[in-house]
Amino acid sequence: MAEIVRLQNINKIYGDKIRTQVLFDINLSFEEGTFNSIIGASGSGKSTLLNILGTLDQPTTGDILIRGVRTSDMKRKQIARFRNETIGFIFQFHYLLPEFTALENVLMPTRIQNGKVTDAEKARAKELLDVVGLSGVMNNLSVNMSGGQQQRAAIARALMNRPPIILADEPTGNLDSVSTESIYKLLRQVNRETGTTFIVITHDSRIAEKADRIVEIKDGRIGLDLKN
């Protein structure tokens, strides 16, 4: 299978005066169409790694190659477009736009891409909201939704543009075990049907076990790297 992302000799150091190194010389690559989970203790550097993978953060040294393209060579505008088309984010702290409804939030990646929304895209957004069980509240402003509902809306939003890569940081952190189970089933289904590559940080070992691969981060280094 083809490689879709590669991290080369990634080091991340925070701070100028008091320097804290969070990632140590990470070399890691993921294959296209796989479902990967990242586990590790709190503060081990999982989110930092994922944000660097998603071009949101820059490593102190090292390179990120996405489909063979070195992201540090891209201009800010190119990166913005690249992010919009290639990566779907599900953040640890969900992050819907509070001024917009659930449906509008889900449509936002499409609007950013094309400037407008077609009926077909609107139908797809509604379908996605239905799949995550939010068709009843899709016209609620996101501030008027529960934490778990917001998280599910964020998942629908990440899927909207059919990005080849989805990066998720504890996407079910606010959900009960039943919902968690159904959300992972959904993500897995998307992964199988569309060949989308998933890289998911999770604390839930039952979930991690179902992934194609488990990468453990330990104190900023790769601990375990298991392929099922």
Partner 1 sequence: MRLACSIAIRFLKSGKGQTILIALGIAIGVSVQIFIGLLITGLQQSLIDKTIGRSPQITVTAKEDGKTIPDAGALAAKIQGYGDEIVAAEPASDGSAFLSFSDKTDPILFRGMDLAASDQILRIGEGIYEGRLPNADDEILVGKDLAEKLALSSGDTVKIAIPYGTEKEYKVSGLYDLKVASINSSWIIGTLSATQAFFDYGSGVTSIGIKVKTPFEADNTATKLSSYIGDGNLTFTDWKTQNEQLLSGLNGQSISSIMIQVFVLVSVVLGIASVLAITVMQKSKQVGILKAMGITDRISSLVFLFQGLFLGLLGAVLGVLLGVGLCVMFVTFARNPDGTALIAISVDYGFIALSAGIAVLAAIVASLIPARKSSQLNPIEVIRNG
Which residues contact ligand ATP (rule: CB under 6 A)? Answer: 14-15, 20, 22, 40, 42-48, 92
* Footprint (CB under 8 A) of partner 1, residues 157-196: 157
Residue 115 as a binder of partner 1 (CB under 8 A): the answer is yes
Where do contacts with Mg ion occur on this chain (CB under 5 A)? 47
Tokens of 51: 């944000």
Residue 40 interaction partner, one of partner 1, Mg ion, ligand ATP, none, beta carbon < 5-8 Å per kind = ligand ATP
Could you give the CA distance from residue 168 to residue 4 in angstroms, rounded to a whole number? 16
162-165: Cβ within 8 A, 24+ apart: 162/194, 162/196, 163/85, 163/86, 163/87, 163/88, 163/196, 164/4, 164/32, 164/86, 164/195, 164/196, 164/197, 165/4, 165/5, 165/66, 165/86, 165/87, 165/88, 165/196, 165/197, 165/198, 165/199
Identity of the residue, 5 or 38, whose beta carbon is nearer to Mg ion in the bound complex: 38
Using alpha carbons, select from 3, 144, 1, 151 the residue that is nearest to residue 67.
3
Residue 76 as a binder of partner 1 (CB under 8 A): the answer is yes
Q: Name the segment binding partner 1 (CB under 8 A); options: 2-10, 109-117, 177-185, 209-217.
A: 109-117
Relative orientation angle of helices 102-114 and 119-131, to the nearest 10 degrees: 140
Identity of the residue, 48 or 196, whose beta carbon is nearer to ligand ATP in the bound complex: 48
Least distance from C-beta 201 to partner 1, angstroms? 13
Identity of the residue, 92 or 182, whose beta carbon is nearer to ligand ATP in the bound complex: 92
Residue 85 as a binder of partner 1 (CB under 8 A): the answer is yes
Q: Name the segment binding partner 1 (CB under 8 A); options: 17-25, 85-93, 207-215, 220-228.
A: 85-93
Query: Binding partner 1 by CB under 8 A: which of 11, 60, 100, 122?
Result: 100
Tell me 94's DSSP state: B
Residue 47 as a binder of partner 1 (CB under 8 A): the answer is yes
Residue 112 as a binder of partner 1 (CB under 8 A): the answer is yes
User: Nearest-5° angle of CA 117, CA 119, CA 123?
Assistant: 105
Query: Binding partner 1 by CB under 8 A: which of 46, 83, 124, 152?
Result: 83
Least distance from C-beta 30 to ligand ATP, angstroms? 18
Three-state DSSP at 6 gives strand
Identity of the residue, 22 or 66, whose beta carbon is nearer to ligand ATP in the bound complex: 22
